[in-house]
Amino acid sequence: QQQVKQSPQSLIVQKGGISIINCAYENTAFDYFPWYQQFPGKGPALLIAIRPDVSEKKEGRFTISFNKSAKQFSLHIMDSQPGDSATYFCAARSPQNSTLTFGKGTMLLVSP
């Protein structure tokens, strides 16, 4: 049973456009929702994260929107750049052991 569902699987956006990746979770006990960026051959790097008592968090060009009642959250990348081309993972943290449950990832390609 997949506890964190991520969509789309892949995304192509033109340079300067907005990239939007969505995630839905099932376990209401999750207490922290990070997004990770991963380049080929590298480990995931934390991009931005949000707690469930906050509806939106913005850091530079990256924004997380969080809808607790719908159990959904999304990542928006404004003014997308070719350097943003990577795989993005949403995750949710279990409070009991701080382990992360990841979505399956979204491969983003920003065309020049």
Q: What is the DSSP string of 73-93?
A: EEEEESS--GGG-EEEEEEEE
Instruction: Count Cα atoms within 13 angstroms, Cβ side, for 39.
Output: 6
The pattern of x and - marking residues 65 through 104 that bind other proteins according to CB under 8 A reads: ------------------------x-x-----xxxxxxxx
Judge contact between 53 and 65, C-beta under 8 A.
no
Nearer to other proteins, 63 or 103 (CB): 103
C-alpha to C-alpha distance for 25 and 33, rounded to whole angstroms: 10
Name the residue nearer to other proteins (CB basis): 42 or 68.
42
DSSP state of 42: S
Near other proteins by CB under 8 A: residue from 49, 57, 72, 76? 49
Q: Does 44 bind other proteins (CB under 8 A)?
A: yes
Choose one: 12-20, 31-39, 66-74, 77-85; the region binding other proteins (CB under 8 A): 31-39
Among 46, 58, 59, 82, binds other proteins (CB under 8 A): 46
